[in-house]
Chain A
Amino acid sequence: MRNFWSILSAYLAAWAIFFVYSATVGRRLTRLEEELRRLKSRTGRDE
């Protein structure tokens, strides 16, 4: 297939951006969930 490496690099770049972005959001969510749990246990609230 001609231009195989161009096609492959385009798809890999797209996947990498989506993956890195989703992972960043996921990591930020986990951090906030932990913080919420900590606050909840300190204040003893049910939410």
Chain B
Amino acid sequence: MMLGKAAWNLAWWAVAIGLGFAGYAIFFIAPRELTMGSIQRIFYFHAATGISAYLCFFLSFLASIGYLASRQPRWDWMAVSTAEVGLAFDTVVLITGPIWAKPVWGTWWVWDARLTLAFIVELLYIAYLLLRRLSTEMDRRGMISAVFGIFAFLDVPLAYFSVRWWRTEHPGPVIAGGPNSGLDPRMWHVFAFTWLALLALMILMIRDRYRLEAMRQTVSEWKAEEELGVEMAEGKEVTQ
């Protein structure tokens, strides 16, 4: 069943309220972390946004495979929508990370495995979006971006698992990171709530971006039909 415009507006409001509550929970419900102090509160947004960004890139990867297998434009629309939303989320990660790092590490940035690979992920998806602008022909653009989308995704698992595979300045995983990792239950609840709110935001953003791509296609088809109609009408006049 398709949701109406009012229902989607309601969903946006629900997400805004959810994110507002997440902000309250981060500052007033989550306990203060003992080693880093209050600056650790950035974690709730930073980590949740990072996981959401990588989830977007994974969806883009699946959609790219879907496009190569079927050549259905809707897979291409999904691939670009998830890649663009993922890039917005990943930009948040790359901005909030250094703000967190400065008081804790004493520097904004280090070129360790995690940060370098995360930066390359960002560059690859910027390149993906720029590459799409090079071709206006739909099938050619879909093909090139699907192949590049699959290639770009190869860096995502590397970036994600880099903190497990190599010794990095970036801390190891606190969720599902082994016996010495984990979160205080209150921290975990706040993190889970924030992540759910961000996931809902991500879904709404993807839905809008997908609608945009579908509408763009309709507009270009209608324009082409209109131009064809004008040309035919002009041709008729000439023959008359």
Contacts and interface: CB of A to CB of B under 8 A. Distances in A.
Contacts of A40: 222
Contacts of A1: 38
Q: Main SS of the interface on chain A?
A: helix
Contacts of A6: 39, 42, 99-100, 102-103
Contact of A11 (B23, B201, B215, B216): B23
B107 interface: no
B88 A14 contact: no
Interface stretch (B151-159, B182-190, B205-213): B205-213
B64 interface: no
A28 B205 CA distance: 13
B99 A29 contact: no
B125 interface: no
Interface string B22-44: 01000000000000011101100
B227 to A, nearest CB: 11
A25 B205 CA distance: 8
Contact of A2 (B37, B205, B222): B37
Contact of B92 (A3, A14, A22, A45): A14
Interface string A21-36: 1100110110011011
11 contacts: A1-B38, A2-B37, A3-B103, A6-B102, A11-B42, A14-B45, A29-B211, A29-B215, A42-B226, A43-B222, A43-B226
B11 interface: no
Given A2-B39, A29-B215, A36-B218, 15 more contacts: A2-B37, A3-B39, A7-B42, A10-B100, A13-B95, A14-B45, A14-B95, A17-B88, A25-B208, A32-B215, A32-B219, A35-B219, A36-B215, A39-B219, A39-B222
A13 to B, nearest CB: 5
B49 interface: yes
A22 B205 contact: yes
B39 A7 contact: yes
A37 B37 CA distance: 55
Contacts of B99: 6, 9-10, 13
A25 to B, nearest CB: 5
B168 interface: no
Contacts of A11: 23, 42, 45
A40 B222 CA distance: 9
Nearest to A1: B38
